Amino acid sequence: MSDHPDLRGACQAFVASAFAALANEHVLPTPRYHAYMAVGRDYFGDSIMPLAEFIELEAQLDKHYTERFSEPLKREHAEFAQTYIFGLLEACINRCAQAGDFTPSGPAVEESIEELLEVLSTSTYELVCAQHVSHLTTASGVEIQIGDITIIPEPEDSHRFLTNRIQQEIPSAPRAWNRDLPRPYDPPHTLLIIRETTDTPDPYVVRSQLSAKLERFLLLARLLTAGTVQSDYETSGMTTLIACMNPQIHTSGKGMLDTLVRRTVRLTGDEAAVFAAVSDMIDTVDIKRDGIVATSFDVALDKYNHSHTIGSPYEHLVDLATALEGVLIGADNEGEGLTLRLCTRAAVLLARDDDPATAVFNDVKELYGLRSKLVHGGQIAEKDLRKVFTRVSTVPPGDAERRFGMALAYAVDRLRDLVRRAILARLCLAEHPNPAWPFTGHTAVDALLADDHQRDTWRSYWHTRLAALGADYAGGKPRAAVDTISQEDR
């Protein structure tokens, strides 16, 4: 900006004047541990905006960047010079606090002015979303890349490693944390990072798109591995201290060790092709959506994903039972013999040597029966629920009598896995060009499955299709989950 020394001089004069005003209000100097100041929270703009130097800097910015700041109220994506002025001030405070030197003409202030001018000189910016998740790590214990997502496992001996990494990617992240360092505990922990460099005028749209990609990644990991992966929180923001968007944090409400059963996902870095293929199947499956508010499959997918969030296990049982019905019954729900048809279809499609048809049939019958009682106003005594859990094939012997909460968690985990495999089966059977069981139209499913050859053909087909994708492991019964404080077999 050597061509505009007046702008650089206006920046320096403003910072000196603002520092003096904040020092007079005992805001500065701030300690290094409180370096991330925010207007409206740590100080008020009415002590800064009347300054003559503020008014002059605003005029200079409006003059030099008319394409960015002129007539903001007449544009869809308005920008205001004041946003960047306060951004400059807070960046200077941050860097000065880190350096322990609040000299207005010092190198920390010069660095912040340079950043401001660099940010304003281009319409592009880089935005990062970083999501902290539990029960996910890498097989090697080191950082890997899958598609456009970086997976960074937390070392066992460093509980600040991931927050430090977030701050490296998003320098202003601690401002969103508001001095309350996010430190959930339900190991193993991993950070998922995705970024985009763009000139899209609305960074909040970009943030939402990146967040959705992370959610899709978690959905795929859950579908393919039966992992109990849960999101703890997500931090998003720019890669510069001075930016057009403040950093944000979105938390899930997850507490410490509040997941009773765990099945950790250990990624190798070779999953990119499989993840992409299954994601493409979800996006291209033949479902009529034009003019449709919601489809049974879309709702089922959402309920399956939602079952990995913190919430009532009874709510998860209801949601998962509804999801199983949406996947295996869908538009064929005429009411008559619904439970029997659901149990039969699940048993026919999902049975394996390690998970026989009788076990699938009986588990669906027991767990779907719970859903009916919960939804239709029935009352379930604890002793009756314990009896149900003793009949669910994956609940460890004795847990129903001794550890009621654990038995309930294992029951939810079993139903979640049946829904997972049902989703994969339907995706494969509905795949073009010759879908055996399409989502559109009417297929006489029960009549077809009455034939022994047809049953074997359908069951074999979807497993063969997964194997062709390199995901044959995804169609089977997963390894047993463990309670969250126990060691886990790999």
Q: Are residues 49 and 129 in the same domain?
A: no
- Tally of CB atoms within 10 A around 447: 9
Q: Is residue 108 part of a domain?
A: yes
Q: Are residues 219 and 186 in the same domain?
A: yes
Q: What value, to the nearest 5°, has the Cα angle with vertex 125 and ends 108 and 144?
A: 95
> Which residue among 205, 232, 265 closes a domain?
265
Number of domain units in the chain = 3
Residue-level pLDDT, tens digit, the chain, 490 residues: 446 789 999 999 999 999 999 999 999 999 999 999 999 999 999 999 999 999 999 999 999 999 999 888 888 888 999 999 999 999 999 999 999 999 999 999 999 999 999 999 999 999 999 999 999 999 999 999 999 999 999 998 887 999 999 999 999 999 999 989 998 999 999 999 999 999 999 999 999 999 999 999 999 999 999 999 999 999 999 999 999 999 999 999 888 878 899 999 999 999 999 999 999 999 988 776 666 666 888 899 999 999 999 889 999 999 999 999 999 997 665 556 889 999 999 999 999 999 999 999 999 999 998 988 888 776 788 888 999 999 999 999 988 888 999 999 999 999 999 999 999 999 999 998 889 999 888 888 999 999 999 999 999 999 999 999 999 999 999 999 999 888 887 6
Q: Count CA within 13 A, CB hemisphere, residue 172.
A: 24
Sign of the four-CA dihedral 233, 234, 235, 239: positive
Range of the domain at 12: 5-120
Strands 125-134 and 189-198: what pairing?
Answer: antiparallel
Cα separation, 75 vs 117, whole angstroms: 23
Q: Is residue 490 part of a domain?
A: no
Q: Are residues 341 and 256 in the same domain?
A: no
Q: Are residues 152 and 109 in the same domain?
A: no
> Which residue among 57, 86, 120 closes a domain?
120
- Tally of CB atoms within 10 A around 239: 16
Closest C-alpha to 7, from 56, 52, 50: 56
Q: Is residue 273 part of a domain?
A: no
Inter-residue long-range contacts of 36-42, CB under 8 Å, 24+ positions, other chains counted:
36/90, 36/94, 36/172, 36/174, 36/175, 36/179, 37/90, 37/93, 37/94, 37/175, 38/90, 38/175, 38/246, 39/86, 39/90, 41/178
Q: Are residues 251 and 328 in the same domain?
A: no
Q: Is residue 411 part of a domain?
A: yes
Cα separation, 206 vs 198, whole angstroms: 8
Q: Are residues 290 and 391 in the same domain?
A: yes
Closest C-alpha to 412, from 318, 305, 327, 322: 318
